[in-house]
């Protein structure tokens, strides 16, 4: 059970490695009331923009506000769904094309809660966390990422 | 230091105004502050951004408490 | 792109390791048109039954039919959602409590397709694949798992 | 070997009838086969199962082709 009642850090410097994800999954093998895990991973795309091709995204955040907001979202999702665990990791700094920048992980006894909670978490993270992605282009230009 | 406001700027806003932090005289409310900001940084007229007072997004006119931390936030694009 | 037009094996002997999942995630870093991955993991629960406590599930399948059906589901989901990749792994044989028995992995340019496809895949796998779980109890008894 | 049907049994069905494979005389259709099975294995009356002919689930009465592969499938519980 990880229903801590204080904000925890969600930010990691640089990309999120597949090994981090494996370790996080493995950590749940002792929680034998879990029947399903739902995971969402954001990966940086090599988008072609009119200004150039994306090579990486440089993430920045209003960290204090983002952590408060993440805590608020976390509490709301725990109140809404019967979850066992919830983990959120978001990159700061540079994440190259093909690397992972977001890792959202929910676990519950029955699959539906984990799946629905994961979907809702991702939507809320993208809409409500004060985080910005600067897309670094192969033309030495950059454009500010826009979430759709 | 009373009667000042600490302002943080992020993303495209920081880029437009050329700084990530500034200190301004205190303004009574968010509308007065916004007017002053647009006079000081006309480039802000060309972009979309929101105001946060003490880490809370505001949508309508709001009082600014003493020593408030104000943030200028362009549209979020995390994830 | 993995839109192969023939059934591929989805069955693995025993539990699915977190390292297998990490490797599968890492394999997608070269696919730079992917923006989101959705993963579902099934984990064996230590359920308390009237007949005893679950220690493991022993999975069996009508393999040939299951692979045909999985292929049919795979094709239908690829036709319905704009996916880049889709992977399904299901355990056969014994999987202990806390271990993983199902790994469903979808990837797409924009997150919504991967998430919706993953949810639908999991539902269809549980409802339509001829696979059976025998729950091994600490009383030397067993009960046949029932999907709800 | 003509005029026979190969039958596979799975999960709780295999447990009830005590075997995972059997060969029976050919029956014209699924209903006739089911009747014969329930006579041969009365225990099957106590559980729910479906029939697949050549790896396709059937819901209504259906012809059984020569040398068909029949499977007796209890409710699925994968995942």
What pLDDT digit, counting tens, does each position of A105-130 carry? 999 999 999 999 999 999 999 999 99
pLDDT at C68: 97
pLDDT at C4: 53
Q: Which CATH superfamily is domain A13-24+33-144 in?
A: Molybdopterin biosynthesis MoaE subunit (3.90.1170.40)
- A23 and C CB contact within 8 Å: yes
pLDDT at B2: 61
CA-to-CA separations, C135 to B23, C147, D42, D47, in angstroms, rounded: 66, 12, 25, 17
Helix (H) or strand (E) holding A65: helix A63-80
Q: How confident is the model at residue B52 (pLDDT cuts 50, 70, 90)?
A: very high
Name which of C19, C37, C119 is nearest A41 (Cβ-Cβ): C37
Whether C5 shows a pLDDT value over 70: the answer reads no
Domain ranges within chain C, ordered by starting residue: 13-24+33-144
- Give the separation between CA D20 and CA A91, rounded to whole angstroms: 53
Name which of C39, C97, C109 is nearest A32 (Cβ-Cβ): C97
Q: How confident is the model at residue A4 (pLDDT cuts 50, 70, 90)?
A: low
Within 13 Å of residue D58, how many CA atoms lie on the same side as its CB?
A: 19
Name which of D12, D73, D79 is nearest C130 (Cβ-Cβ): D73
Task: Say yes or no for a CB contact (<8 Å) between D78 and C68.
Answer: no
Closest chain B C-alpha to A145 CA, distance in angstroms: 6
Q: Quick one: average pLDDT of B7-36?
A: 96
Counting residues of chain C whose pLDDT is more than 70, the rounded percentage is 97
pLDDT at A5: 63
How many CB pairs (< 8 A) connect C and D? 64
Q: Quick one: average pLDDT of C64-93?
A: 98
Question: Are residues D20 and C62 in contact, defined by beta-carbon separation less than 8 angstroms?
Answer: no
Q: Quick one: average pLDDT of D12-37?
A: 95
How many CB pairs (< 8 A) connect A and C? 115
Whether C85 shows a pLDDT value over 70: the answer reads yes
ipTM value, please give it.
0.94
- Give the separation between CA B67 and CA B75, rounded to whole angstroms: 25
Question: Are residues A73 and A90 in contact, defined by beta-carbon separation less than 8 angstroms?
Answer: no
- Give the separation between CA C59 and CA C144, rounded to whole angstroms: 10
- At residue B62, what are phi and psi to the nearest 5 degrees? -145, 145
- Give the separation between CA D56 and CA D48, rounded to whole angstroms: 17
pLDDT at C61: 98
**To probe the interface with A, which of C15, C22, C56 has the most A CB atoms within 10 Å?**
C22
| Mean of the per-residue pLDDT values of chain D | 94
For residue C54, the chain A residue with the least C-alpha distance is A32
What is the pTM (predicted TM-score) of this model? 0.95
Question: Are residues B47 and B72 in contact, defined by beta-carbon separation less than 8 angstroms?
Answer: no
Chain C residues whose beta carbon lies within 8 Å of the beta carbon of residue A35: 42-45
CA angle, residues B51, B54, B57, in degrees to nearest 5: 35
CA angle, residues A101, A103, A109, in degrees to nearest 5: 170
Question: Are residues C136 and C56 in contact, defined by beta-carbon separation less than 8 angstroms?
Answer: yes
Question: Are residues C74 and C128 in contact, defined by beta-carbon separation less than 8 angstroms?
Answer: no
Whether C96 shows a pLDDT value over 70: the answer reads yes
Name which of C19, C35, C42 is nearest A35 (Cβ-Cβ): C42
| Mean of the per-residue pLDDT values of chain C | 96
Task: Say yes or no for a CB contact (<8 Å) between C131 and D76.
Answer: yes
Question: Are residues A111 and C122 in contact, defined by beta-carbon separation less than 8 angstroms?
Answer: yes
- Give the separation between CA D41 and CA D18, rounded to whole angstroms: 10
What pLDDT digit, counting tens, does each position of C111-135 carry? 999 999 999 999 999 999 999 999 9
| Among B69, B57, B60, residue whose Cα is nearest residue B22 | B69
pLDDT at A135: 98
What DSSP letter does each residue of C30-44 carry, written as one string? T-TT--EEEEEEEE-
Q: Quick one: average pLDDT of A9-16?
A: 98
Q: How confident is the model at residue B18 (pLDDT cuts 50, 70, 90)?
A: very high
pLDDT at D4: 87
């Amino acid at each position: 059970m990880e229903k801590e009642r204080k904000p925890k850090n969600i930010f990691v410097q640089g990309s999120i490695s597949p090994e981090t994800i494996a370790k996080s999954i493995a950590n749940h093998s002792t929680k034998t009331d879990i029947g399903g895990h739902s995971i969402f991973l954001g990966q940086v795309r090599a988008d072609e923009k009119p200004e150039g091709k994306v090579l990486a995204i440089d993430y920045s955040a209003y960290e204090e506000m983002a952590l408060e907001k993440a805590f608020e979202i976390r509490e709301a999702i725990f109140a809404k769904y019967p979850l066992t665990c919830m983990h959120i990791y978001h990159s700061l700094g540079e994440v190259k094309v093909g690397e992972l920048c977001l890792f959202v992980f929910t676990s519950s006894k029955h699959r539906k809660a984990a799946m629905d909670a994961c979907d809702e978490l991702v939507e809320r993270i993208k809409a409500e966390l004060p985080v910005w992605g600067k897309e670094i282009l192969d033309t030495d230009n950059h454009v500010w990422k826009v979430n759709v | 230091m009373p009667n000042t406001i600490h302002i943080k700027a992020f993303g495209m806003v920081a880029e437009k105004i050329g700084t990530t932090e500034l200190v301004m005289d205190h303004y009574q409310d968010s509308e007065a502050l916004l007017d002053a900001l647009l006079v000081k940084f006309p480039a802000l007229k060309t972009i979309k951004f929101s105001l946060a007072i003490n880490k809370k997004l505001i949508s309508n006119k709001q009082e600014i408490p003493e020593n408030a931390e104000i943030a200028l936030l362009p549209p979020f694009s995390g994830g």
